[in-house]
């Protein structure tokens, strides 16, 4: 089939779904709305498969399918087409977005079936996918930005989906405002790049950038730096990560789709998309890797202390996104994409699993009130176990391969260092600990469920089927990128499929040495070892000796308090930025707005009114006064004629 038509179907199918559900938003039939939405996404998924299959058959060096629909903006020397492209990078993304998206839509039918706003919910979800596809497929920064803003809007709408709860509405607003800060930087980045290169098309930018200079103030460095700030907003990195944990106020499938699997990876995707340009800015890469590693550790430590099942997963997402940025920062863009993909599988799985748990527990999210759920929720439990093994990075599950590749690259790459590797490994240890803690408190150990009020039950097949599919993907997804050291000892020496797939669109790291296999084995051994130790420690703490954690928390008192309160970052932002801003705004309102702006408008109205009053006085109805005006006019005319 024609590629443009396929692309149009891929893009517009969710949009049509959005229109249908959006126009019948008052209907309460959850199954009908869910079916429409899911079918729309499945159609998208099928056309994505067809497109990627065609792409795979093309010769390696010319693997790109573009579809130009119309001229969007044409001003002076700025020409932007509404043009979309599938290349090996966006191919991975459209498969993940539509595939995982379809599974999550399916899950939502079960999860949201008795919600009164269900048609609206599915309309938003489809609109989100439409925008996400624009973001992923756009072949220039402005087209990507349209999707970038669109997903932000849908994220806001879905976080605040239950907007009658003021706290949830506020969480949506927080996400929106925090993202605006990043988006402003994104726009500035675009301006800088357009000023210095005269183009915003990805291919042209990537071709032009490597010739640019490397200093701190060079346009490439500044432009990429601002784009990265944009990415920290969307992808929840320090310092703009604060919105993501609060975003858990939305329905759980939304957290799985938007705030774990797809939207929050947009920043990583954008950097990978522009990888030749970021490689031309080593200073930016240094900052990216630093922020990525710091976020990975920082968020993981907060995850250690949280009691809300979704908050733990949210901090875990922030931390895993940190790994992706760490990968990009050391130049291993392929590893970043790989982790993006595997993370989409296992984190979507775990969010849906937590949704299943929350559903079973009648909307209880506190893991202190769970425990021993493995008997009541066998399918949820076993799929969650797969996700757990995948995220803590035990072979041969997906997370092992992607996280290990990132850590190895952080160690070997000329942009990396032992410090970055150490931070990554520390984050991995924390990850293993808090995920095991979550497993212990939720599924294992003694039940703390209040059996008088809550009767946990396994979810219907609509919800367990996506869990099983995602568990399968989390188990085998990593085999797409088997590292060389392992492949050498496997029968048949399977090649690293992803590395081969990205060949040509993702640049190799310049000055990268062939790693010593024994070193690779050592690194692998260390990361698996610390993960196992941390997991065992958590098991000991939370299952065998459940009184220990509290004692330990007391023994380190103040530190625990600081971490438990998320390092008081929200409080710091309120104290240092938001409140002063509010105060200054109020001052501006009271003094500048009231006096100057209002003063000016009132001044003008008073002037007009005064002029009117004066003119009214002239026309007083006294005939002799009129006669005097005429006489004066006549005298003035005569004087004028005389003087002239």
Partner 1 sequence: MQDTNLLLQIGLGHYLVLSAILFCFGMIGLLLRRNAIVILMSIELMLNAVNLSFVAFSKYLAQQEGQIMVFFVMTIAAAEAAVGLALAVAIFKRFQEVNIRFFEHLKG
Least gap, CB of 587 to partner 1 (angstroms)? 56
Least gap, CB of 627 to partner 1 (angstroms)? 6
* Residues numbered 614-643 forming contacts with partner 1, rule: CB under 8 A: 621, 623-624, 627-628, 631
Least gap, CB of 625 to partner 1 (angstroms)? 9
What gap in Å lies between CA 38 and CA 625, rounded to an integer? 84
Least gap, CB of 644 to partner 1 (angstroms)? 19
Q: 172-177: long-range contacts at Cβ-Cβ below 8 A with a sequence spacing of 24 or more? A: 172/247, 172/249, 172/250, 174/242, 174/243, 174/246, 175/243, 175/244, 175/246, 175/247, 176/152
3-state secondary structure 67-79: EEEEEEEEECCEE
Helix (H, G, I), strand (E, B) or coil at 545: coil
Site track for partner 1 across 367-386, x = CB under 8 A: --------------------
* Residues numbered 310-349 forming contacts with partner 1, rule: CB under 8 A: none
Choose among 154, 157, 178: nearest CA to 168.
157
Strands 78-86 and 65-75: antiparallel
Q: Are 173 and 160 in contact (CB under 8 A)?
A: yes
Beta bridge partners of 86: 65
Q: What angle do CA 447, 450, 452 make, to 5 degrees?
A: 130
Least gap, CB of 590 to partner 1 (angstroms)? 51
Query: In terms of CB distance, is 600 or 627 closer to partner 1?
Result: 627
Query: In terms of CB distance, is 56 or 625 closer to partner 1?
Result: 625
Least gap, CB of 641 to partner 1 (angstroms)? 14
DSSP summary character for residue 588: I
Query: In terms of CB distance, is 56 or 635 closer to partner 1?
Result: 635
* Residues numbered 412-431 forming contacts with partner 1, rule: CB under 8 A: none
Least gap, CB of 637 to partner 1 (angstroms)? 14
Query: In terms of CB distance, is 214 or 635 closer to partner 1?
Result: 635
Query: In terms of CB distance, is 5 or 628 closer to partner 1?
Result: 628
Least gap, CB of 613 to partner 1 (angstroms)? 22
What gap in Å lies between CA 592 and CA 598, rounded to an integer? 9
Tokens representing 619 are 């026309």
Tokens representing 47 are 């056309």
Query: In terms of CB distance, is 77 or 624 closer to partner 1?
Result: 624
Sequence-distant (6+) residues with CB within 8 A of 302 are: 315, 563, 566, 567
Upstream peptide bond of 109 is cis (omega within 30 degrees of 0): no
Q: What angle do CA 92, 98, 104 make, to 5 degrees?
A: 125
Instruction: Using alpha carbons, list the distances in angstroms from residue 422 to 195, 296, 425, 464, 483.
Output: 39, 11, 5, 38, 20
Least gap, CB of 614 to partner 1 (angstroms)? 22
Q: Are 85 and 65 in contact (CB under 8 A)?
A: yes
Least gap, CB of 626 to partner 1 (angstroms)? 10
Query: In terms of CB distance, is 581 or 632 closer to partner 1?
Result: 632
DSSP summary character for residue 591: I
Query: In terms of CB distance, is 557 or 621 closer to partner 1?
Result: 621
Query: In terms of CB distance, is 56 or 628 closer to partner 1?
Result: 628
Sequence-distant (6+) residues with CB within 8 A of 218 are: 212, 281
Q: Are 250 and 159 in contact (CB under 8 A)?
A: yes
Tokens representing 529 are 């070892």
* Residues numbered 171-190 forming contacts with partner 1, rule: CB under 8 A: none
* Residues numbered 582-621 forming contacts with partner 1, rule: CB under 8 A: 621
Q: Are 155 and 258 in contact (CB under 8 A)?
A: yes
Least gap, CB of 643 to partner 1 (angstroms)? 18
Least gap, CB of 638 to partner 1 (angstroms)? 10
Least gap, CB of 630 to partner 1 (angstroms)? 9
Q: Are 383 and 470 in contact (CB under 8 A)?
A: yes
Query: In terms of CB distance, is 529 or 633 closer to partner 1?
Result: 633
Tokens representing 177 are 């405002």
DSSP summary character for residue 445: S
Query: In terms of CB distance, is 5 or 632 closer to partner 1?
Result: 632
Helix (H, G, I), strand (E, B) or coil at 133: helix
Count of residues that bind partner 1 according to CB under 8 A? 6
Query: In terms of CB distance, is 518 or 624 closer to partner 1?
Result: 624
Least gap, CB of 593 to partner 1 (angstroms)? 48
Query: In terms of CB distance, is 487 or 631 closer to partner 1?
Result: 631
Question: Which stretches of 413-460 are DSSP H helices?
Answer: 418-442
What gap in Å lies between CA 190 and CA 211, rounded to an integer? 18
Query: In terms of CB distance, is 518 or 622 closer to partner 1?
Result: 622
Helix, strand, coil percentages (3-state) for the chain, rounded to 5, are 75, 5, 20
Binding site for partner 1 (CB under 8 A): 621, 623-624, 627-628, 631
């Amino acid at each position: 089939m024609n590629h443009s038509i396929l692309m149009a179907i891929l893009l517009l199918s969710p949009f049509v779904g959005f229109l249908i559900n959006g126009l019948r938003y008052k209907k309460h039939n959850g199954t009908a709305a869910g079916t429409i939405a899911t079918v729309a996404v499945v159609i998208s998924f099928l056309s994505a498969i067809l497109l990627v299959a065609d792409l795979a058959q093309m010769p390696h060096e010319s693997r790109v399918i573009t579809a130009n629909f119309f001229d969007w903006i044409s001003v002076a020397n700025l020409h932007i087409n509404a043009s979309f492209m599938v290349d090996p990078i966006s191919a991975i993304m459209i498969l993940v977005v539509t595939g995982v998206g379809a599974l999550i839509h399916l899950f939502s039918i079960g999860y949201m079936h008795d919600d009164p706003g269900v048609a609206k919910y599915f309309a938003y979800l489809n609109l989100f996918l439409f925008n996400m596809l624009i973001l992923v497929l756009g072949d220039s920064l402005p087209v990507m930005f349209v999707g970038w803003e669109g997903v932000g809007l849908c994220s806001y709408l879905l976080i605040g989906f239950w907007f009658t709860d003021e706290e949830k509405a506020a969480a949506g607003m927080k996400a929106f405002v925090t993202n605006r800060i990043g988006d402003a930087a994104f726009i500035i980045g675009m301006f800088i790049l357009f000023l210095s290169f005269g183009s915003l098309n990805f291919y042209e930018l990537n071709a032009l950038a490597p010739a640019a200079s490397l200093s701190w103030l060079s346009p490439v460095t500044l432009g990429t730096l601002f784009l990265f700030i944009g990415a920290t907003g969307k992808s929840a990195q320090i310092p703009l990560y604060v919105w993501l944990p609060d975003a858990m106020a939305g329905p759980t499938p939304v957290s799985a789709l938007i705030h774990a699997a797809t939207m929050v990876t947009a920043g990583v995707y954008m950097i990978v998309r522009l990888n030749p340009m970021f490689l031309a800015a080593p200073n930016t890469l240094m900052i990216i890797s630093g922020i990525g590693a710091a976020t990975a550790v920082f968020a993981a430590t907060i995850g250690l202390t949280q009691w809300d099942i979704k908050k733990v997963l949210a901090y875990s997402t922030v931390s895993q996104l940190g790994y992706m940025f760490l990968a990009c920062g050391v130049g291993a863009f392929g590893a970043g994409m790989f982790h993006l993909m595997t993370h989409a599988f296992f984190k979507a799985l775990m969010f849906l699993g937590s949704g299943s748990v929350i559903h079973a527990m009648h909307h209880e999210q506190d893991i202190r009130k769970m425990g021993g759920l493995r008997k009541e929720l066998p399918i949820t439990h076993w799929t969650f176990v797969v996700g757990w093994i995948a995220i803590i990075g035990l072979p041969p599950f997906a997370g092992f391969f992607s996280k290990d590749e990132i850590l190895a690259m952080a160690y070997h790459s000329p942009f990396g260092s032992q410090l970055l590797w150490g931070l990554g490994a520390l984050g991995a240890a924390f990850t293993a600990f808090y995920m095991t803690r979550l497993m212990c408190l939720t599924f294992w150990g003694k039940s703390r469920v209040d059996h008088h009020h809550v009767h946990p039950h396994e979810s219907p097949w609509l919800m367990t089927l996506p869990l099983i599919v995602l568990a399968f993907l989390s188990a085998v997804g990593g085999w797409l990128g088997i590292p060389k050291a392992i492949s050498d000892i496997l029968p048949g020496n399977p090649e690293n499929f992803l590395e081969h797939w990205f060949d040509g669109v993702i640049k190799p790291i310049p000055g990268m040495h062939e790693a010593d296999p024994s070193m690779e084995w050592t690194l692998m051994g260390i990361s698996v070892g610390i993960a196992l130790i941390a997991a065992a420690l958590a098991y000991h703490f939370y299952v065998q000796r459940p009184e220990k954690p509290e004692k330990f928390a007391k023994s380190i008192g103040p530190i625990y308090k600081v971490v438990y309160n998320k390092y008081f970052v929200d409080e710091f932002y309120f104290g240092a930025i938001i409140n002063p801003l509010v105060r200054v705004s109020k001052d501006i309102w009271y003094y500048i707005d009231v006096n100057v702006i209002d003063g000016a408008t009132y001044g003008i109205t008073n002037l007009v009114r005064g002029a009117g009053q004066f003119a009214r006085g002239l026309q007083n109805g006294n005939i002799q006064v009129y006669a005097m005006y005429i006489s004066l006019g006549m005298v003035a005319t005569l004087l004028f004629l005389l003087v002239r």
